Structure 1
Amino acid sequence: MEIFKYGAKEIEYLKKKDKKLGAAIEKIGIIERKINPDPFKALVSSIVSQQISTKAAETVWNRFTNVIGVVTPENIEKVSLEEIQGCGMSLRKVGYIKGIAEAAISGEVNFGELNDLTDGEIIKKLSALKGVGVWTAEMLLIFSLCRPDVVSYGDLAIRRGMMNLYGLKELPKEKFERYRKRYSPYGSVASLYLWALSVL
């Protein structure tokens, strides 16, 4: 299993920059989060799991890979809408997945070259695809491309984690941005801890 890698350098930096976050890191310890280094597969997987439980997503994904085989744009293109829908997905989701495969085949999105782009360029390119929002693109930046500095304002759990950490009743965007800048350039590591803090 591949995980999002970070270590002493990131931890020491965040502790120095933010005492409260530092104390939380100390208490929680190292967090191991699984990554999927294939951005095409990671994006399709995130569409499959949209708005359903983790367990249901796993079942649907297993059926999907049984039908498709290796998850590549070409293999998705070969299989009919009905066959994919039969895995337990809505027609709309299947449409999104087919659209992502078409974008890869046509070269509209070159998944192999995403790493050459900035975070902002990747978000812009991916969120132009149907069914892919900014949040989905940001999650791909962390859990596929392992970008070091992503803190998603669109992620409810991250905002809740921040509010829990600092004892806030509300979190205006300006305040969020202030914290986000404080964590930079290791925002993704801060995000891992904010997720953990969101369930307290």
Structure 2
Amino acid sequence: MNQQTNSKPQIRVIKDEQQLQRHIEALIDIEPRFDAVYQQVGMPDLRRNQGGFVRLIRAMVGQQLSVAAASSIWNKLESAGLIYPQAIIDADDDQLRAHGLSKQKIRYIRSLVAHDIDFESLEVMTDEEVIKTLTAVTGIGKWTAEMYLLFSLGRADVLAVDDLAIKVGAMDLLQLDARPTPKQLRDLTQDWSPYRSAASLLLWSHYGWLKDRQALPV
């Protein structure tokens, strides 16, 4: 009798800077043009965070706001203890609004509370399962889910094709005539797998490098 094999994809993560270094070297073997970028920007920051409920609420608060405005609202919520599920359940909308949240943001945050995500379970889900779980929450789109995969879960093969900086960085790297659409970028970078998180980190750093030298969209 043949033994059954587990067909679930292996979950790959970047645990530390040494592992990131190996992924960058492997990426450069696939796409040598990254070598010049790496020489320009050096080792990118992994920017890892603890993830969880508070991390997603903070992401929601910051949507479509300046850094200063988002920080101001976050500080008010944090000081009032309104960043945890039970506290949000106990607060009425007027209280949340008084601390700077719009009607839309209140709806988003209450949706996150209602979904009661088991954040530990995300650690063992595939990237696709994590994205499906997170985007089921009102107010969490694919970009936010991908940021969670990359910076909270440390997943190794995430390229945020909807991200402006990624598009601009890739346009320069690949010497394209125009900024790629998400589909074009996805198609152009398939060969970078399974090292697309290293590519994302390098492209973000490259975008910053480009911005310092010429007027680019922010």
Shared fold per TM-score greater than 0.5: yes
Distance 2:52 2:189 in 1: 25
Q: Which residue, out of 59, 84, 109, partners 1:72?
A: 84
Q: Which residue matches 1:25? A: 38
Residue 187 of structure 2 corresponds to residue 187 of structure 1: no
Question: Shift of the alpha carbon at 1:97?
Answer: 0.6
* CA offset digits 1:107-160 (Å, max 9, x no partner): xx3222111211111111111111111111111111211111100111122111
Q: 1:4 to 1:44 in 2, by over 3 A?
A: farther
Counterpart contact for 1:39–1:145, Cα < 8 Å: no
State the one-letter code of the partner of 1:114. Answer: L
Q: Which residue, out of 13, 16, 35, partners 1:5?
A: 16
Question: Shift of the alpha carbon at 1:188?
Answer: 1.2
RMSD over aligned Cα atoms: 2.0
Runs of 5+ consecutive residues of structure 1 not aligned to the other structure:
none
Q: Which residue, out of 115, 123, 129, partners 1:121?
A: 129
Counterpart contact for 2:155–2:197, Cα < 8 Å: yes
Counterpart contact for 2:73–2:99, Cα < 8 Å: yes
Q: Secondary structure at the match of 1:160?
A: helix
Q: Which residue matches 2:213? A: none
What number of residue pairs does the alignment pair up?
Answer: 193
Larger-Rg structure:
2
Runs of 5+ consecutive residues of structure 2 not aligned to the other structure:
1-13, 211-218
Counterpart contact for 1:4–1:34, Cα < 8 Å: no
Distance 1:176 1:116 in 2: 28
Counterparts of residues 11-160 of structure 1 (less than 5 Å): 11-68=24-81, 71-104=83-116, 109-160=117-168
Q: Secondary structure at the match of 1:146?
A: coil
Question: Shift of the alpha carbon at 1:24?
Answer: 0.3
Distance 2:45 2:60 in 1: 23
Q: Give the TM-score of the pair, scaled to structure 2.
A: 0.81
Question: Shift of the alpha carbon at 1:23?
Answer: 1.4
Report which structure shows greater RCO (CA 8 Å, sep ≥6).
2
* CA offset digits 1:39-88 (Å, max 9, x no partner): 2221111100000111221111111111126x332222222222222222
Q: Secondary structure at the match of 2:79?
A: helix
Q: Give the TM-score of the pair, scaled to structure 1.
A: 0.87
